[in-house]
Amino acid sequence: MRTRPTLHWLPAGDPLPGTTDPEPVAEALSAGGVLVLSGAGISTESGIPDYRSEGGSLSRHTPMTYQDFTAGPHARRRYWARSHLGWRTFGRARPNAGHRAVAAFARHGLLTGVITQNVDGLHQAAGSEGVVELHGSLARVVCLSCGVLSPRGELARRLEEANRGFEPRAAGINPDGDADLTDEQVEGFRVLPCTVCGGVLKPDVVFFGEAVPPRRVEHCRALVREATSLLVLGSSLTVMSGLRFVRQAAQAGKPVLIVNRDPTRGDRHAAARVALPLGAALTTLADRLHIPVDGGSTG
């Protein structure tokens, strides 16, 4: 029996009240040794929607699961047509103040690492190094038969040539790069095979219903063990792929700080949740710590 992945959660008991005072996060950053775990909320100010906030993409869109993708060619045609259109939006996205602040904290030696649940590459574009992409990256494509990795841009050029005139109007773009299109709009879209073996191509991302590679999980667990505290930025922590690291940190007695406007599934493990927009909150923190962002002075 196929089960659907966890897309929503309902809080049990009294929620952790949010605060608008970022001082607990400032204290953690000042002490150093902070590991960042970021989610879709850090990229909304770059024009990429999140999943679960009010008006988030899950209110109108059910992400394709790995099981659906591998089940047959119809589902893959639907995915690649929608993703091909959405890729153009991802390609235009640029890092925002939140991404730049995280990179600045790292440059000043306050962070031990960055784990992101996002697949947009914006942390790296902002200058963060050694980012662990927990759910992979839309910038790469993998063949399910031979395992060869190739640049997404290369496949995009091939798809453009094979689908000339494909210019449907999308109702919206989702955090996984999937554009909202109808079945009629994707009908006739040509899906291309691997150029090496002719196998099925898949974006090098972890779909809903797919497991994060064990070695990647263990690497993240090691980062949690090495950190002094864990700072969660813009994640509802609904799925276990990120929540497990919050639980690990809390069980080890390490402070967990969350910056997210809405309650999260990890709140009961947190010392504080700062309920502020991420860009403003992280910029305020940089100012408070006298850390220049993008080379500018913060006073």
The residue from 61, 99, 135, 269 that is catalytic is 135
Instruction: Detail the residues annotated as belonging to a binding site.
Output: 39-59, 117-120, 143, 146, 194, 197, 234-236, 278
First to last CA, the chain: 59
Known binding-site positions for Zn(2+): 143, 146, 194, 197
Q: Which residues are annotated as a binding site for NAD(+)?
A: 39-59, 117-120, 234-236, 278
Residue 281 and residue 166 share a domain: no
Query: Could you tell me the CATH number of the domain that includes residue 27?
Result: 3.40.50.1220
> What b/e string do you get for 192-215 counting C-beta neighbours within 10 Å, with b at 16 or more?
eebeeeebbbbbbbbbbbbebeee
Q: Which domain holds residue 115?
A: 17-48+95-135+211-299
CATH number of the domain bearing residue 170: 3.30.1600
Residues 41 and 83 in one domain: no
187 and 247 inside one domain: no
Domain check: are 151 and 186 in the same one? yes
For residues 177 and 290, membership in a common domain is answered with no
Taking only the tens place, the pLDDT of each residue in 18-30 is 899 999 999 999 9
Q: 188-216: per-residue pLDDT in tens?
A: 999 999 999 999 999 999 998 899 999 99
pLDDT band at 92 (very low <50, low <70, confident <90, very high): confident
Any bridge partners for residue 141, and if so which? 150, 203
Q: Is 61 tagged catalytic?
A: no
236 and 100 belong to one structural domain: yes
> Is the pLDDT reported for residue 15 higher than 80?
no
Q: Is the dihedral of CA 98, 111, 141, 239 positive or negative?
A: negative
Q: What is the pTM of this model?
A: 0.88
Contact present, 181 and 82 (Cβ < 8 Å): yes
How many domains, in total, are found in the chain?
Answer: 2
Q: Which amino acid is at 169?
A: R
